């Protein structure tokens, strides 16, 4: 017992010495400085379902928001007006010219061995079929390798890539590159099994990329169910045939805007913490998860600071990028418009993984910066969002990150993301008000503190 | 220790005496008599994926099989031919006249506050709309009580019953009775939220029942997503409007058949164990789960006995009833055709809960009979299907059960049943070959032993 008491005294003395040294060389820990503010932001965000209801007003009223559509521009007008009403600063739409692809009427029908309508979604940027449609035998392949092996059979056929979902990055190649691969083998059209691990007869769209060296053939997604059906028919030697009609076409580029709103910094207004999502969506469902939700949580985080009268030392800027889904023109335009200020971007955050239950943040930047981020995240333990992992980013902030801006994204429960992604099932009912409130709280706390802390978030050496 | 040895000797003597008495008054336990045969049947059923592949051949080739359709009769022709090839006995189609409802073209579109196509499925037996469709404001109600309260608002509107799935029996009332309830309040059409706990923008159909005292108005199911969307719009005072076009109509009754095949009993051929499912389905998806699977597992159970050269003392009869979904005419016809033999029906089994992982059987009959059923079920412990619970039955065997025939149904994992039920998502990929093999094994063991055991399965007193 005397030994224990002795050690204990020593430990306390040591602590005092260490702490004293720390207080001389740097300010008190972020957690001490900001705990009260973090708690106020968390309480405000989680005290009601405002984020969910705002997203419902937006997506119920305007529906899906494909680049070039009136719905997208009407939604942007409404958002800008609401932001102004809320007293946010420097609210503006920054012009961006975007691709304008339209789906038109489309249908597919099995014609042999028996007639059956097949739900499809044409792939974004696909050409249409000739007026009367295309009818041809189907060749089902399992992979690009399988197509290469069976190349001679593809001529004049509709090639279906029946590739099960493994991971998005691996499987989506068939959606993006399948049409041109099939065209090079002489196919007249291409179909892809929808990129999802779970289907209730639900097709999922997304963009294709035509290889300029291959003929442009029409391409659409079929359901997982129908891809498997056609594969079984082929295995039995039943030679399924299909009629495909697609009125898809590309119109001239259209005007759109990146939505911008700020709270200007009190000391370093030219230094910017930017956060947001993309306001465009595919043309089915409501674009609620992908990515109306990502836009609204950032917007709500800023509104809460305004409501609580919080003005950080640096500027916090919300951006809703346009045209993420089929062009990334908004991301490129933001970088170009703000090129001179890129070095004064302290941190860029994108929320585009669905506003599901958050666990923290993923961060790409220097180790020193990640240590600060981890400190801030520890203030989110109350809402179980205190992880700080490596690897954050997003399509719209990638151009900034390439120029050295640290990038970040919320870590969320992604288990159901691809069930809904790019489909008619991306609707409000898939999102939970409590989850959205927590993501809002996490973004508010993270951006406020990074924008307000005495020292700027360190960049990697030389960036 | 001496005391223990003494007791132990006593126990052995007692066992011998009891067992001796038992062997004088009754045959050895069923488990002893039939373990080897049960194991052979289980091995045969679970040794391959024959049931799954047979169902795939059936449902891939003929697709969904609504009463009155060519697909249903073609499927029946194919089944009868296959059964004959397999050497099953007394293979025949017993004539049944069935309702012939056709869906026709149908569509729904939100016209205000913004245009959006809405996936629908007209309800079975609904009338169609006038040629140009119906366009009207939507009144969303939460229940029949809510409709009663808001009755005055329903006149001239399209009434939507936005009732969340609780349990099938409770929720399906809105599908069956909603149209007439809405019509009595002056509505011009009725919509019902699809009866399912899980949706990926998937409408679910099913039969409605018109009240003869109410005007017949068109009725369709919308998706869960769209029902919730319309409810939110109404809550905000946005007065959603909808255009509904349905080409549905009822044609004169059509010829169909109950499919019958047997292995005749060696000693009591007039005593019958009947098992099966219903061969008709709704006109979307493949009718794989509901109820092609139920038909095929019974069929396969019989084929396995034939293949193994097993002929029980009593007759085992497989029946695939027609028109379960929208008329129950097959069930009534079977009862009427076999009225004189109903008392010689020892047991009736229906598999119509999906051929998912089995846990045993539910049984409705005397306690004495259930004790025997439990003995038989214990032989299914190997495949974890050895439960014997009260409460079995099914729509197609209900007319027999009303006349005193003991009824039974496999207990299966029903957790996903209503995800697929009556929708385009009722497809082969939802069923697992191992699960189907186990249900087949369970049916084969149960029916063989009940058909072969020395004493007939006891009925309830006086039945």
Whichever domain contains B361, its CATH number is 3.40.630.10
* Confidence band of A16 (pLDDT split at 50, 70, 90): very low
Q: Is residue A115 part of a domain?
A: yes
Residues on chain A touching B59 (C-beta within 8 angstroms): none
Say if the Cβ atoms of B119 and A228 lie within 8 Å: no
Say if the Cβ atoms of A225 and B425 lie within 8 Å: yes
* Confidence band of B24 (pLDDT split at 50, 70, 90): low
Nearest to B280 by CA among B58, B11, B7, B43: B58
- Co-location of B44 and B95 in the same domain: yes
Residue owning tokens 């981020």: A373
Q: What is the pLDDT of residue B240?
A: 98
Say if the Cβ atoms of B428 and A113 lie within 8 Å: no
Which of B8-17, B82-91, B281-290 comes out lowest in average pLDDT? B8-17
CATH of the domain at B173: 3.50.30.30
Q: Can you tell me the mean pLDDT for B404-422?
A: 98
Q: Is residue A89 part of a domain?
A: yes
- Co-location of A115 and A204 in the same domain: yes
Q: Can you tell me the mean pLDDT for A110-139?
A: 97
Residues on chain B touching A224 (C-beta within 8 angstroms): 429
Nearest to B429 among A71, A224, A419 (CB): A224
Q: What is the pLDDT of residue A28?
A: 82
CA of B420, closest CA in chain A: separation in Å? 7
CA of A54, closest CA in chain B: separation in Å? 12
Say if the Cβ atoms of B423 and A224 lie within 8 Å: no
Q: What is the pLDDT of residue B28?
A: 82
CB count, 10 Å around CB of A405?
25
Of chain A, the percentage scoring pLDDT greater than 70 comes to 94
Q: Which of B54, B59, B60 to mutate to test the interface with A (most CBs of A within 10 A)?
A: B60
Which one of A177, A262, A271, A324 is the catalytic residue? A324
Asked if pLDDT for residue B7 goes beyond 50, the answer is: no
Q: Can you tell me the mean pLDDT for A192-209?
A: 98
CA of B330, closest CA in chain A: separation in Å? 26
Q: What is the pLDDT of residue B3?
A: 40
Residues on chain B touching A113 (C-beta within 8 angstroms): 61
Q: Is residue B173 part of a domain?
A: yes
- Co-location of A49 and A119 in the same domain: no
Q: What is the pLDDT of residue A12?
A: 44
Residues on chain B touching A117 (C-beta within 8 angstroms): none
Say if the Cβ atoms of A425 and B200 lie within 8 Å: yes
Give whole-number Cα distances, B115 to A62, B118, B376, in Å. Answer: 9, 10, 60
Say if the Cβ atoms of A202 and B202 lie within 8 Å: yes
Nearest to B423 among A56, A200, A228 (CB): A200
Task: Residue B329: give the domain boundaries.
Answer: 29-101+252-452
CA of A202, closest CA in chain B: separation in Å? 7
Q: Is residue A13 part of a domain?
A: no
Q: What is the pTM of this model?
A: 0.93
Q: Can you tell me the mean pLDDT for A17-37?
A: 71
- Co-location of B258 and B367 in the same domain: yes
The C-alpha angle with vertex A309 and arms to A308 and A312, in degrees rounded to 5, equals 110
Say if the Cβ atoms of B236 and A57 lie within 8 Å: yes
Say if the Cβ atoms of A202 and B198 lie within 8 Å: no
Q: What is the pLDDT of residue B193?
A: 98
Nearest to A199 among B56, B63, B200 (CB): B200
Task: Examine the fold and report which residue of A186, A213, A247 is the final residue of a domain before the chain moves on.
Answer: A247
Say if the Cβ atoms of A201 and B228 lie within 8 Å: no
- Co-location of A304 and A443 in the same domain: yes
- Co-location of A239 and A108 in the same domain: yes
Task: Examine the fold and report which residue of A247, A266, A285 is the final residue of a domain before the chain moves on.
Answer: A247
CA of B284, closest CA in chain A: separation in Å? 9
- Looking at every residue in chain B, the average pLDDT score rounds to 94
- Co-location of B97 and B110 in the same domain: no
Q: What is the ipTM of this complex?
A: 0.92
Residues on chain A touching B201 (C-beta within 8 angstroms): 200, 202, 285, 423-425, 427
* Confidence band of B460 (pLDDT split at 50, 70, 90): confident
Q: Are B282 and B239 in contact (CB under 8 A)?
A: no
B348-376, pLDDT tens digit by residue?
Answer: 999 999 999 999 999 999 999 999 999 99
Chain A positions contacting chain B at CB under 8 Å are: 56-57, 60-63, 71, 113-114, 116, 119, 198-202, 224-225, 228-229, 232-233, 236, 238, 285-286, 419-420, 423-425, 427-429
CA of A196, closest CA in chain B: separation in Å? 12
Which one of B73, B324, B325, B350 is the catalytic residue? B324
Q: What is the pLDDT of residue B208?
A: 98
> In terms of CA atoms, which chain B residue is nearest residue A285?
B201
CA of B83, closest CA in chain A: separation in Å? 20
**Domains of chain A: total:** 2
Q: What is the pLDDT of residue A462?
A: 61
- Co-location of A118 and A162 in the same domain: yes
Q: What is the pLDDT of residue B25?
A: 59
Q: Is residue A9 part of a domain?
A: no
Q: Which of B201, B226, B230, B422 to mutate to test the interface with A (most CBs of A within 10 A)?
A: B201
> In terms of CA atoms, which chain A residue is nearest residue B431?
A225
* Confidence band of A195 (pLDDT split at 50, 70, 90): very high
Nearest to A200 among B63, B199, B228 (CB): B199
Residues on chain A touching B58 (C-beta within 8 angstroms): none
* Confidence band of A18 (pLDDT split at 50, 70, 90): very low
Asked if pLDDT for residue A255 goes beyond 80, the answer is: yes
Asked if pLDDT for residue B22 goes beyond 50, the answer is: no
Say if the Cβ atoms of A420 and B200 lie within 8 Å: yes
Q: Which three-class secondary structure state does DSSP give residue B146?
A: helix
* Confidence band of A14 (pLDDT split at 50, 70, 90): very low
B370-400, pLDDT tens digit by residue?
Answer: 999 999 999 999 999 999 999 999 999 999 9
- Co-location of A169 and A226 in the same domain: yes
Asked if pLDDT for residue B4 goes beyond 90, the answer is: no
- Co-location of A125 and A240 in the same domain: yes
Question: If residue A10 lies in a helix (H) or strand (E), which one and from where to where?
Answer: helix A2-25
Q: Is residue B423 part of a domain?
A: yes
Q: What is the pLDDT of residue A460?
A: 74
- Co-location of B284 and B423 in the same domain: yes
Question: If residue B184 lies in a helix (H) or strand (E), which one and from where to where?
Answer: helix B173-184
- Co-location of B325 and B312 in the same domain: yes
Asked if pLDDT for residue B221 goes beyond 70, the answer is: yes
Nearest to B78 by CA among B97, B96, B91: B91
Give whole-number Cα distances, B72 to A184, A229, B136, B352, in Å. Answer: 41, 19, 36, 18
Cα(A168)–Cα(B434) distance, rounded to whole angstroms? 29
- Looking at every residue in chain A, the average pLDDT score rounds to 94
* Confidence band of A1 (pLDDT split at 50, 70, 90): very low
Q: Is residue B2 part of a domain?
A: no
> In terms of CA atoms, which chain A residue is nearest residue B226?
A427
Residues in CB range of B102: below 8 A, 6 or more apart? B68, B248, B249, B251
Q: Can you tell me the mean pLDDT for B201-213?
A: 97
Q: What is the pLDDT of residue A5?
A: 43
A57-104, pLDDT tens digit by residue?
Answer: 999 999 999 999 999 999 999 999 999 999 999 999 999 999 999 999
CA of B278, closest CA in chain A: separation in Å? 22
Residue owning tokens 């905000």: B236
> In terms of CA atoms, which chain A residue is nearest residue B60?
A229
Nearest to A201 among B114, B229, B423 (CB): B423
Angle between the N-to-C axes of helices B30-46 and B293-307, in degrees from 0 to 180, rounded to the nearest 10:
110
* Confidence band of A26 (pLDDT split at 50, 70, 90): low
Nearest to B358 by CA among B290, B457, B442, B253: B442
Our answer to whether residue A324 is catalytic in this structure is yes
Q: What is the pLDDT of residue B15?
A: 44
> In terms of CA atoms, which chain B residue is nearest residue A116?
B63
Cα(A423)–Cα(A288) distance, rounded to whole angstroms? 11
Residues on chain A touching B424 (C-beta within 8 angstroms): 119, 200-201, 225
Residue owning tokens 């990334």: A328
Buried b (16+ CB within 10 A) or exposed e, B238-259: eebbbbbbbebeeeeebebbbb
A169-192, pLDDT tens digit by residue?
Answer: 999 999 999 999 999 999 999 999
Say if the Cβ atoms of A424 and B62 lie within 8 Å: no
Task: Examine the fold and report which residue of A191, A216, A247 is the final residue of a domain before the chain moves on.
Answer: A247
Nearest to A113 among B61, B225, B232 (CB): B61
Say if the Cβ atoms of B428 and A228 lie within 8 Å: yes
Q: Is residue B19 part of a domain?
A: no
């Amino acid at each position: 017992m005397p030994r224990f008491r002795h050690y204990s005294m020593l430990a306390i003395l040591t602590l005092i010495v260490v702490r004293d040294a720390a207080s001389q060389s740097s300010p008190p820990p972020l957690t001490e400085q900001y705990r009260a503010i973090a708690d106020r932001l968390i309480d405000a965000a989680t005290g009601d379902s405002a984020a969910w209801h705002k997203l419902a007003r937006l997506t119920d009223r305007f529906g899906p928001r494909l680049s070039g559509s009136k719905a997208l521009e009407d939604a942007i007008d409404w958002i800008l007006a609401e932001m102004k009403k809320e007293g946010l600063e420097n609210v503006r739409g920054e012009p961006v010219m975007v691709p304008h692809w339209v789906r038109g009427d489309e249908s597919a029908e099995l014609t042999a061995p028996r007639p059956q309508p097949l739900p499809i979604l044409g792939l974004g940027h696909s050409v249409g079929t000739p007026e009367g449609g295309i009818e041809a035998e189907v060749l089902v392949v399992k992979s690009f390798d399988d197509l290469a092996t069976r190349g001679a059979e593809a001529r004049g056929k509709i090639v279906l890539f029946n590739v099960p979902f493994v991971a998005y990055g691996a499987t989506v190649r068939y959606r993006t590159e399948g049409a041109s691969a099939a065209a090079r083998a002489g196919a007249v059209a291409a179909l892809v099994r929808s990129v999802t691990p779970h289907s209730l007869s639900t097709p999922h769209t997304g963009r294709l990329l035509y290889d300029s060296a291959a003929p442009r053939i029409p391409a659409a997604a079929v359901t997982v169910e129908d891809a498997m059906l056609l594969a079984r028919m082929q295995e039995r030697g039943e030679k399924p045939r299909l009629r495909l009609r697609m009125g898809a076409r590309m119109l001239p580029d259209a005007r759109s805007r990146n939505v911008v709103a700020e709270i200007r910094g009190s000391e370093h207004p030219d230094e910017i913490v930017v956060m947001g999502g993309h306001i465009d969506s595919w043309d089915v469902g409501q674009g609620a998860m992908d990515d109306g939700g990502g836009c609204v949580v950032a917007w709500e985080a800023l509104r809460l600071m305004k409501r609580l009268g919080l003005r950080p030392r640096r500027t916090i800027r919300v951006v809703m990028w346009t045209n993420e889904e089929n062009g990334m023109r908004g991301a490129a335009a933001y970088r170009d418009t703000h090129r001179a200020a890129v070095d004064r971007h302290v941190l860029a955050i994108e929320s585009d993984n669905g506003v599901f239950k958050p666990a923290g943040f993923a961060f790409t930047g220097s180790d020193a910066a990640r240590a600060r981020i981890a400190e801030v995240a520890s203030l989110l333990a109350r809402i179980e969002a205190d992880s700080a992992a490596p690897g954050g980013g997003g399509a719209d902030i990638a151009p900034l990150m390439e120029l050295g801006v640290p990038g970040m994204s919320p870590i969320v429960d992604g288990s159901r993301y691809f069930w809904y992604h790019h489909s008619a099932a991306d609707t409000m009912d898939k999102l939970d008000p409590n989850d959205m409130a927590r993501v809002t709280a996490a973004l508010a706390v993270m951006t406020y503190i990074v924008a307000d802390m005495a020292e700027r978030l360190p960049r990697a050496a030389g960036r």
